[in-house]
Structures are given as structure tokens and as C-alpha cells.
């Protein structure tokens, strides 16, 4: 088996161009997905059946079907309807880039909404009751207590979801986008070095994934810093009245 | 929903998808058990190899794995078989490449599930089995495996859902699965939305079926209602 190191080095800049598009797709759809996931998660954890039903159906559909079907449904499926083709939406829906963004956004929103719902339900009841006892109105309580707490609880799982999103973004290559995978496939069509190029692309994915895990760990460490707080030991000769039995020893 | 006579195509594609998922499940479970055994083994080399396997595979997109095995697999296999003096051309079918890629991916995640389940079984279980005079192999199959199964089912069920959805990726290299048949049908009828929606609903049905099966197995493996702790 011949192994062409030269070709990897020669085409690395083009692979990195692809990696840039991958990053862009993940970042844009990640942020839009997050914005969409929050209201869906709130509606999903409502007490009213009719408010809960629609988000439930949405999450059920997007978590139960392959991402590839969702991308094709938007990219190819939208062209079936003349009404769509004639509307202003077509400017967006004829572009593979925006179709990929829409599909990834809807997909990640469904998964993260489910994470946030779990986190909202994991908030200790006492904290909600305390907020109510303080006289907070529901919107204020959601903004000040429910969302920050849920975000902190869901952060580690949300980091995993973003790594899955990174891996899912490889599917953009199936609708002609030149992301990292798409770029590797284009180069392979020209040079016929599948093992070398796919390995190089795989390593770039690993590096991006590792960086994302690192960044999420930093955010977690900062956001949930109350869990990582270390008390400096008190001097032995301190006034006993200043001692706090819950913190010391 | 008017399928214009393409319904049988979708049904045959669904059958291929099911076969692909089940074949990958069998091999993936084997990879997972071997990976967990390696991770828990006393030999450092095996532990490192298993860690390398899970880190690499979990960080690489499944689509990239499928493409690598399909387009690079024959090159890799011919190089390997060259050591045994076999130098005919070997071609890898999309099905084989798909089973390979999906089971490798499934195995990497299953390794962690089996490892966690294994660690959740108290040491006393091994010790008391030895005290009864059982050999390590007997202990594993009679005492450990039934408990491992109960602890691992919920995790494995989730992984199978992921696997089921990832089978759609193999259509990219030309396997005539559900996704590919929907593509073919939508090409002939110019009604892509209808056929991709039909495919989506069939996938939805399959994932629901998988969930129900997992729940059934969960109840059956846990008659005492202890609940999974892993």
C-alpha cells in the first residue's frame, strides 16, 4: 500500500478551508438552535396539555428520524411545491447552505430542548417555591431562576450535543456543500487517495472536537463555579464565633 | 399520501435498512464487549488500544467512517491480505462497508456502556461465586452476564436508536436502503417531499418499535423491578 504524505500536505490548506465552513455551520446553527430550544423546552414542560402537545410532536419527529432525511426533506422536498418556489422563501431555500443551516438548527433545537426540559424538571422544587415566595412574577422567575439554573444543569450534556452536531455537520457534504467532508471528497475525486484524505479530515474533526470539549469545560467551570469553589482554611486562632459549622473542617 | 406505485420500493428499502441495523448491532455488541474487556484488563497495552479506539471513533463523523470503509476499504483489505500472499482484487460492497462502519461506531459507544455496567456489579458477586467453586468463565456467564445485561440494556437501547438513524448514511455510498429508494422514487415522480416524508414516517415507526422492544427487554431482564443503576 502506498501512502502519499505529499498529497496530504499539498491539499491541507483546502481541507482547512472546508473545516472553516464546518465551524461556521456548527456555530450558526448551534446559536440559532439554542435560541429556538429555550422556548420549546419551556412550552414542553408546561402543565397545560395543549401547550405541551406541539413541542412534543416536534421533538418526537426530529429525534426519531435521521438527520439525512431532514436535510433532504428541506433541500429537495421544498421544490415540490410551486407556492414555495414563487414565494420570497425560495431565495433562502434554493441555497444548499441555508437548507443545511435550517436542518441543523431544527435538529439540534429538538435535542437540546429535550435536554433543557430534563434540566428544568431537575431544579429543586424549593428554589421555585422560594422564588414564588419572594413575589416574583412567572416571567421574572423564569428569567432569573429557572433558565440560569437549567442552563447550568444542562451544560455538560449540551457540550456533548454540540460535539454530535459537529459530527452531524458532515452530512452537509451530501447537498453539495464543501465542508470538511465535502472538501475531502472533492480532493479524492481528483487525486484518488481516499485513505490519506479521509484520515486527514478525520484528524481535523478530532482536533475541532477536542477544542470544543475544552471550551465547554471552561464555560462549565466558570458558569457552575459555585460547585468548584474551594474554601481557604481558616487560621486556627480565629474567634470561634466566626466559625461556620457548615463550611469548616 | 399518494405513492404512485412506488410503495413496494420503500418496503424493500425498509427491509434492507432493518437487515443493516441488525447485522451492525450484532457486530457492534461484539466490538463493545471486546472493548470493555480490553479497557478493564490488567494489561496496559490492551487498555491503551481500547482507549485509542473509543476516542478516535467517537470523535469522527459516522459519514466519514462509511466513506472511508467504502472507498478505502478494498485498498486496506488488499494490503492486509497481501501479507498472506493473496493479491487478487477485493471489492467491498456498500452493505459490508456499512455494517463495518456502523458496528465500529456502535462498538465504541457500547464499550463505555458495558464498562460502566461491569463496574456497577459489586465485587462480592465475583467473590461469592468463586467461594462456591465456580471458575472465572462460569462466574462470568452464570452470575455476571445476566446482571450486566440488565444494567446495560437502557444504554444499549439508546445506542441502537442512534444506529438505526445512522443506517441512512449508507445510502450515500449506494446501498439500496430506505433512504436510497426514497431518492430513486422522488427522482422519477418529481415529488421529493412526498417520498422523503414517507421515508421519515417509516424511520419514525422503526425507532418507536425499537423503543418498545427496549422497554420490553428492560422489564424482562429486571423481574424484581430494581431499576437500572448504571
What are B153-198's pLDDT values in tens digits?
A: 999 999 999 999 999 999 999 999 999 999 999 988 889 999 999 9
Q: Taking CB atoms and an 8 Å limit, are B172 and A81 in contact across chains?
A: no
Please provide residue B140's backbone torsions phi and psi, each rounded to the nearest 5 degrees.
-60, -50
Please classify residue A164 by burial: count the beta carbons closer than 10 Å to its beta carbon, then call 0-12 exposed, 13-18 middle and 19+ buried: middle
pLDDT of residue B165: 95
Rounded Cα distance, B76 and A113, in Å: 42
Q: Which residues in B lie closer than 8 A to residue A197 (C-beta atoms)?
A: none
Among residues B192, B190, B209, B218, the alpha carbon closest in space to that of B17 is found at B209
Tell me the pLDDT band of B230, cut-offs 50, 70 and 90. Answer: very low
pLDDT of residue A248: 54
Among residues A55, A180, A172, the alpha carbon closest in space to that of A116 is found at A55
pLDDT of A245 strictly over 80:
no
> Which has the higher per-residue pLDDT, A239 or A76?
A76
Q: Which of B55, B79, B199 sits opposite A69 (nearest CB)?
A: B199
Distances (CA, A) of A93 to A100, B6, B211: 10, 27, 34
A207: closest chain B residue by CA: B59
pLDDT of residue A84: 81
CB-based contact, B17 to chain A, within 8 Å = no
Q: Which residues in A lie closer than 8 A to residue B204 (C-beta atoms)?
A: 60-61, 64-65
Q: Which of B56, B72, B204 sits opposite A61 (nearest CB)?
A: B204
- Taking the CB of residue B76, how many other CB atoms lie within 10 A of it? 16
pLDDT of residue A204: 96
CB-based contact, B25 to chain A, within 8 Å = no
> Which has the higher per-residue pLDDT, A84 or B97?
B97
Q: Is the dihedral of CA A186, A7, B73, B31 positive or negative?
A: negative
Tell me the pLDDT band of B47, cut-offs 50, 70 and 90. Answer: very high
Tell me the pLDDT band of B86, cut-offs 50, 70 and 90. Answer: confident
- Taking the CB of residue B124, how many other CB atoms lie within 10 A of it? 9
pLDDT of A229 strictly over 80:
no
Please classify residue B134 by burial: count the beta carbons closer than 10 Å to its beta carbon, then call 0-12 exposed, 13-18 middle and 19+ buried: middle
Average pLDDT, chain B: 91
Rounded Cα distance, B46 and B49, in Å: 5
pLDDT of residue A244: 66
Q: Measure A65 CA to nearest chain B CA, in Å.
A: 6
Please classify residue B68 by burial: count the beta carbons closer than 10 Å to its beta carbon, then call 0-12 exposed, 13-18 middle and 19+ buried: buried
> Which of A182, A194, A196, A200 to mutate to probe the B interface, most B CBs <10 Å?
A194
Q: Mean pLDDT throughout B101-122?
A: 95
> Which of A69, A179, A186 to mutate to probe the B interface, most B CBs <10 Å?
A69
pLDDT of A173 strictly over 70:
yes
Element (H, E) at B164: helix B145-166
Rounded Cα distance, A99 and A107, in Å: 12
Average pLDDT, chain A: 90
pTM: 0.89
Contact call for residues B98 and B66 (beta carbons, < 8 A):
yes
User: Could you give the percent of chain B with pLDDT greater than 90?
Assistant: 73
Rounded Cα distance, A21 and A10, in Å: 19
Q: Which of B64, B169, B194 sits opposite A68 (nearest CB)?
A: B169
Q: Measure A133 CA to nearest chain B CA, in Å.
A: 36
Q: Is the dihedral of CA B12, B16, B22, B25 positive or negative?
A: negative
> Which of B10, B200, B202, B205 to mutate to probe the A interface, most A CBs <10 Å?
B200
Q: Which of A73, A80, A171 sits opposite B63 (nearest CB)?
A: A171
Contact call for residues A80 and B220 (beta carbons, < 8 A):
no
> For residue B81, what is its C-alpha cell?
491480505
Rounded Cα distance, A64 and B208, in Å: 8
CB-based contact, B68 to chain A, within 8 Å = yes
Angle between helices A67-75 and A96-122 (to 10 degrees): 140
ipTM: 0.89
User: Poorest-confidence range of A50-64, A79-93, A115-129, B209-223?
Assistant: A79-93
CB-based contact, B212 to chain A, within 8 Å = no
pLDDT in tens, A139-151: 999 999 999 999 9
Cell 412534543 -> residue: A56
Q: Measure B221 CA to nearest chain A CA, in Å.
A: 25
Q: Which of A67, A80, A184 sits opposite B193 (nearest CB)?
A: A80
Q: Which residues in B lie closer than 8 A to residue A185 (C-beta atoms)?
A: 67
pLDDT of residue A247: 59
pLDDT of residue B89: 80
Contact call for residues A120 and A146 (beta carbons, < 8 A):
yes
A74: closest chain B residue by CA: B193
> For residue B172, what is its C-alpha cell?
450515500
pLDDT of B44 strictly over 90:
yes
Q: Is the dihedral of CA A63, A65, A66, A72 positive or negative?
A: negative
Contact call for residues A55 and A44 (beta carbons, < 8 A):
yes
Q: Which residues in A lie closer than 8 A to residue B76 (C-beta atoms)?
A: 1, 195
Contact call for residues B170 and B157 (beta carbons, < 8 A):
no
Q: Mean pLDDT throughout A85-107?
A: 90
Contact call for residues B70 and B82 (beta carbons, < 8 A):
no
Q: Taking CB atoms and an 8 Å limit, are A65 and B165 in contact across chains?
A: yes
pLDDT of residue B131: 95
> For residue B90, what is its C-alpha cell?
477485493
Cell 486556627 -> residue: A236
> For residue A148, what is its C-alpha cell?
440560569
Q: Measure A174 CA to nearest chain B CA, in Å.
A: 8
Q: Which of A69, A78, A210 sits opposite B200 (nearest CB)?
A: A69
A171: closest chain B residue by CA: B63
Amino acid at each position: 500500500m502506498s501512502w502519499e504524505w505529499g498529497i496530504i500536505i499539498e491539499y491541507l490548506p483546502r481541507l482547512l478551508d472546508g473545516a472553516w465552513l464546518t465551524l461556521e455551520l456548527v456555530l450558526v446553527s448551534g446559536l440559532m438552535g439554542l435560541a429556538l430550544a429555550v422556548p420549546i423546552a419551556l412550552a414542553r414542560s408546561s402543565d397545560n396539555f395543549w401547550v405541551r402537545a406541539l413541542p412534543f410532536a416536534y421533538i418526537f419527529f426530529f429525534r426519531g428520524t435521521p438527520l439525512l432525511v431532514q436535510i433532504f426533506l428541506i433541500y429537495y422536498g421544498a421544490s415540490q411545491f410551486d407556492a414555495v418556489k414563487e414565494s420570497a422563501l425560495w431565495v433562502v431555500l434554493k441555497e444548499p447552505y441555508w437548507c443545511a443551516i435550517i436542518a441543523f438548527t431544527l435538529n439540534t433545537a429538538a435535542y437540546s430542548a429535550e435536554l433543557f426540559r430534563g434540566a428544568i424538571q431537575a431544579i429543586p422544587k424549593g428554589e421555585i417555591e422560594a422564588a414564588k415566595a419572594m413575589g416574583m412574577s412567572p416571567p421574572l422567575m423564569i428569567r432569573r431562576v429557572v433558565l440560569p439554573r437549567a442552563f447550568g444543569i444542562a451544560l455538560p450534556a449540551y457540550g456533548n450535543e454540540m460535539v454530535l452536531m459537529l459530527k452531524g455537520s458532515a452530512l452537509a457534504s451530501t447537498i453539495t456543500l464543501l465542508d470538511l467532508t465535502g472538501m475531502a471528497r472533492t480532493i479524492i475525486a481528483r487525486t484518488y487517495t481516499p485513505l490519506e484524505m479521509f484520515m486527514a479530515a478525520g484528524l481535523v474533526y478530532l482536533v475541532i472536537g477536542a477544542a470544543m470539549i475544552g471550551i465547554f469545560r471552561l464555560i462549565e467551570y466558570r458558569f457552575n463555579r459555585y460547585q468548584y469553589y474551594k474554601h481557604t482554611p481558616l487560621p486556627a486562632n480565629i474567634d470561634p464565633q466566626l466559625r461556620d459549622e457548615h463550611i469548616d473542617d | 399520501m399518494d405513492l404512485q406505485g412506488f410503495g413496494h420500493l420503500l418496503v424493500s428499502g425498509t427491509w434492507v435498512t432493518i437487515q443493516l441495523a441488525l447485522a451492525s448491532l450484532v457486530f457492534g455488541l461484539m466490538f463493545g464487549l471486546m472493548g470493555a474487556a480490553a479497557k478493564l484488563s490488567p494489561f496496559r497495552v490492551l487498555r491503551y488500544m481500547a482507549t485509542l479506539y473509543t476516542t478516535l471513533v467517537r470523535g469522527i463523523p459516522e459519514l466519514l467512517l462509511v466513506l472511508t470503509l467504502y472507498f478505502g476499504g478494498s485498498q486496506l483489505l488488499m494490503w492486509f491480505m497481501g501479507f498472506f500472499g493473496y493479491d487478487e482484487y477485493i471489492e467491498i460492497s456498500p452493505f459490508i462497508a456499512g455494517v463495518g462502519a456502523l458496528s465500529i461506531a456502535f462498538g465504541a459507544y457500547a464499550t463505555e456502556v458495558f464498562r460502566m455496567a461491569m463496574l456497577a456489579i459489586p465485587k462480592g458477586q465475583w467473590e461469592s461465586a468463586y467461594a462456591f467453586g465456580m471458575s472465572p468463565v462460569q462466574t462470568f456467564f452464570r452470575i455476571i452476564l445476566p446482571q450486566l445485561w440488565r444494567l446495560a440494556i437502557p444504554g444499549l437501547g439508546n445506542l441502537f436508536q442512534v444506529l438505526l438513524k445512522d443506517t441512512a448514511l449508507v445510502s450515500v455510498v449506494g446501498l439500496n436502503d430506505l433512504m436510497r429508494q426514497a431518492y430513486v422514487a422522488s427522482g422519477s415522480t418529481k415529488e421529493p417531499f412526498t417520498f422523503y416524508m414517507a421515508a421519515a414516517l417509516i424511520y419514525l415507526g422503526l425507532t418507536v418499535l425499537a423503543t418498545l422492544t427496549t422497554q420490553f427487554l428492560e422489564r424482562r431482564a429486571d423481574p424484581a423491578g430494581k431499576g437500572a443503576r448504571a
